[in-house]
């Protein structure tokens, strides 16, 4: 069984104050990660109507 990463970073910006978007390749759910200094947090990225942002499974990601 191949060891494949479940999450892929699709967006990143900043160096000290970092903001990234990660996608779970098994569910398609998008997560927002933000870190500043030595603290950070992760949350589900939501659409305007409050539902999770979903990327279609099988999408090719540029890394």
Give the residue among 43, 34, 4, 41 at the shortest CA–CA distance from 16.
Answer: 34
Across the range 32-51, mean pLDDT stands at 96
- 22-35 pLDDT per residue, tens: 999 999 999 999 99
- Other beta carbons within 10 angstroms of residue 33's beta carbon come to 17
In this structure, the number of other CB atoms found within 10 A of the CB of residue 24 comes to 16
pTM for this one? 0.84
Task: Return mean pLDDT, the chain.
Answer: 91
- ∠ CA 22-25-30 to the nearest 5 degrees? 35
Residues listed for the chain: 63
pLDDT > 60? residue 1? no
């Amino acid at each position: 069984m191949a060891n494949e990463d479940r999450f892929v970073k699709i967006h990143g910006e900043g160096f000290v104050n970092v903001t990234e978007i990660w996608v779970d390749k098994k569910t398609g759910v998008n997560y927002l990660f933000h870190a500043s200094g030595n603290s950070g947090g992760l949350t589900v990225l939501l659409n305007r109507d409050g539902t999770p942002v979903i990327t279609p499974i099988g999408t090719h990601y540029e890394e």
